[in-house]
Structure 1
């Protein structure tokens, strides 16, 4: 896994600008993003975002990457971890045009899990398997009752 190369930061950011749109369907501008981040108590400018998107500014602070990830609702690992990047790109590619509650919940869960330790991820997977088994058992019981 460690031998996989990450795309340049500019490509990653431009992908997010392309895939994540304003509610009216138009792309976010650099100023839209900077203003929203500043409103959330972050410190970033539209010109800094422009430089990151052009590739003229490299090696941003981790705090800036986190703010950008939060704005675009992707895991912060999207910018640094090839596995998180690939999972997020797959999610972005299959995302329906209109956002719905389920896809928003899935994005939040993906973001939270990607930031956990490996031990915590294993625990979450174990819990998901257990809940899935309970859910299937409930479905089977409903089907048996319907067959009667």
Structure 2
């Protein structure tokens, strides 16, 4: 990593610090966006189907009030997740390149191999669900049958 006079390595603490990270680290930003879209319940990602199955089961068993609350909480949380995604892809007019010329910038903190592996596996499993949903659905059905039907 390149270090300037006033450079420091620090963790991201505020959502605003994610602004434009897609331009400096596109793969990590895309992985984070895919995971956040899945958590928000955007179809055809796995988060949508998990929420759909839970809500379907709750409605079938007569838990209407809890289902309405779950939908409201899901919409509220999705708005927060999407705010993070918007910050990732906002253009910052490439201030990082001008900061490099002035030797006044913050260096990138690299991920360890373990973190890179975990992020890759999580993102690929979410994307695998789009291509082959029956693989995950069948395995989870077998798992639930083995756990709850002795």
The TM-score with structure 2 as length reference comes to: 0.29
Which of structures 1 and 2 has the larger relative contact order (alpha carbons within 8 angstroms, sep 6+)? 2
Q: Which has the larger radius of gyration?
A: 2
